[in-house]
Homo-oligomer: A and B are copies of this chain.
Amino acid sequence: MTTIKQQADYATLINVFTVEPGHAEELTALLHAATEEVMRHQPGFRSANIHLSIDRTRVVNYAQWDSAEAYQAMLASPATQPHMSQAAALAVSFDPHLYTVESVHERP
């Protein structure tokens, strides 16, 4: 279980992969395996949540890192680069950005 908190001190990565529907499940499985085997063992990793769109045109990784620096260090690590290249090769495009959580709203 992952929790989202307002104005938290962690860094949120949202990476939106655009995919051909025929590759969506393969990309989802690849991100699952890479996260379990490699990403979650990197320093500063908190959580990752792999989402598949109902229309099979998007796969989203919603992840939390201790800091932007921890995320950047992961990107630069030789351990993670083969996995990121494999994911990129399955996608039409991908769009990673780091975010802050500005507000959390719940039902009344």
Which residues of A line the B interface, CB within 8 A?
1-5, 12, 14, 16, 28, 32, 35-36, 39-41, 45-55, 57-58, 60, 62, 68, 95, 97-108
Pairwise interchain contact B4-A106, C-beta atoms closer than 8 A: no
Which residues of B lie under 8 Å from residue A103 when comparing CB positions? 32, 35, 49-50
The copy count of this chain in the complex is 2
Our pick among B28, B40, B108 for the contact of A107 (Cβ within 8 Å) is B40
Which residues of B lie under 8 Å from residue A40 when comparing CB positions? 105-108
Can you list 13 A-B pairs with a CB-CB distance of less than 8 A? A1-B3, A4-B62, A14-B16, A14-B58, A32-B102, A47-B107, A48-B104, A51-B99, A51-B100, A53-B97, A53-B98, A54-B99, A62-B62
